[in-house]
Amino acid sequence: MDLTVVAIPYYFGTMGAEYAYLQRSRDDAAPRGGDYERKDTLASLAMGVGSLLAPLSIKKLAEPVTPGKGRYGKVLVAGALGAAAVATVADVLARREEADGLPEAGAVPAAGEQAPNRRAKRSLARRVASSAAVGAVTGGVLAASTAWASKTAAGRLFAKHDRDLGDGPLAVLGATLGWDFIYYWNHRFMHETRWLWAIHVVHHSSEHYNLSTALRQPVLDVVGMFVPYGALSLLGFRPETIETARGINLLYQYWIHTETIPKLGPVEEVFNTASHHRVHHGSNRQYLDRNHGSILIVWDRLFGTFEREDEPVVYGLTKNIDTYDPLRIATHEHVDILRDVAASTTWRDRLSFVFRGPGWAYERHRQGAGAPHPLAEEAAPDAPTGAAVEATPVG
């Protein structure tokens, strides 16, 4: 039983109550971060539905090409390696044409001296390298992520040993605590590498912060690699107990997406609260990539990512995408990554645009490398992930 699905009536009931409260408590027409805006709310609800349905179809599509499991897994790996080889050869040819076209030191080239066919060869080589690199990165990421998910599934790992902690209350509590710890690191990594940020940015894309924002979930987790929650089964937690822990974790995160709940005194020292999570969704510089915890805030305190709420929170990304289109919300950062890969001329840059932090990518845009990016003008060189985020299960 998926607790997050069972709770759907609760979601709508509490969103209705929050909306009514906000309307009654309004004393002027000034916009507030917690306001409900029709198009924004519909976009969040659409992403919530998509997060439930997409995994079902995507899993079916991914199974045949999963290395070590699907019949076309080896084909996917071979295709990715082949594309990488083609891109590398094309890079070499393009650089050779560029080098051969340079005049000798001290020589003054005449106008039009470079042969047209040399320019054409170089242009063709660059186009081939660009397309092949995109294919290699796409195929490589899909192969690695699906293979990792398959090999670290809870059921598969649980079958490898005879430890069994049962399904009692203590087992559920232990699994929930373990899930919470792993979640902290996965959530943090989603802010620190652009590949995972592209999945998680969905959840931070709204400029509003209310209970509907909690439902704005990613749909492309299949292309991410995370610390496996299935690892809990190696300790003896049953797969179904781990699934229960997942549901508890998500349900807890729902209520903290609101401006209507103030700070909660001593509770704030141990547990994640609405106040702490407002910080996480803030695009204010001091709030970027802070408070990654789910149920407990102690992980952030222990590992140096904690920040208290003091100044008013500005919600959204450091530069917002200004769209309510669910498809664009779900894919805009992936599209930008592939554009950067296509525009790069070295493997070092291509892989950096995928795996380094978003802040690095935006700084490179300012330096003229990669494709133009909407955040290029505003993100600082060391900007954490470029927005207020949170991802995989609520966040």
Q: Is the pLDDT of residue 163 over 50?
A: yes
> pLDDT tens across 236-279, in order?
999 999 999 999 999 999 999 999 999 999 999 999 999 999 99
For residue 185, pLDDT beyond 70? yes
Helix, strand, coil percent content, the chain, rounded in steps of 5:
60, 0, 35
Residue 375 pLDDT class (50, 70, 90 cuts)? very low
pLDDT tens column, 68-101:
999 999 999 999 999 999 999 999 999 998 877 6
Task: Decide if pLDDT at 386 tops 70.
Answer: no
pLDDT greater at residue 389 or residue 215? 215
Q: Percent of the chain having pLDDT more than 70?
A: 89
SS3 296: strand
pLDDT at 102: 54
Q: Looking at 82-91, 215-224, 370-379, which range is the least confident one?
A: 370-379
pLDDT (average), residues 145-162: 95
Do 281 and 213 form a contact (C-beta atoms < 8 A)?
yes
Per residue in 82-94, is it b (16+ CB within 10 Å) or e — as a string?
ebbebbeebbebb
* Spatial separation of the C-alpha atoms in residues 27 and 29, rounded to whole Å: 7
Among all chains, which residue has been given the structure tokens 């294919």? 135
Choice between 2 and 195, residue whose per-residue pLDDT is larger? 195
CA distance 12 to 20: 12
Q: Provide the mean pLDDT of the chain.
A: 89
Q: What is the CA radius of gyration of the chain?
A: 24
Sorting pLDDT into bands at 50, 70 and 90, what band is 119? confident
Instruction: Check pLDDT > 80 for residue 369.
Output: no
Cα 38 from chain centre: 25
For residue 110, name the pLDDT band (cuts at 50, 70, 90). low
Residue 99: what pLDDT? 77
The per-residue pLDDT for 14 is 97
pLDDT exceeds cutoff 90 at 113: no
Instruction: Dump pLDDT digits (tens) for 303-348.
Output: 999 999 999 999 999 889 999 999 999 999 999 999 999 999 999 9
Strand partners of residue 296: 271
- Sign of the CA dihedral 141, 146, 152, 154? positive
Q: Spell out the residues 6+ positions from residue 236 whose beta carbon is closer than 8 angstroms to its own.
A: 161, 163, 164, 165
Average pLDDT over residues 18-44: 92
In angstroms, the CA 16 to CA 18 distance is 5
**pLDDT of res. 2:** 80
Per-residue pLDDT at 109: 56
Which pLDDT score is estimated for 30? Answer: 80
Residues with Cβ within 8 Å of residue 115, at least 6 apart in sequence: none
pLDDT at 97: 83
What pLDDT was estimated at residue 377? Answer: 37
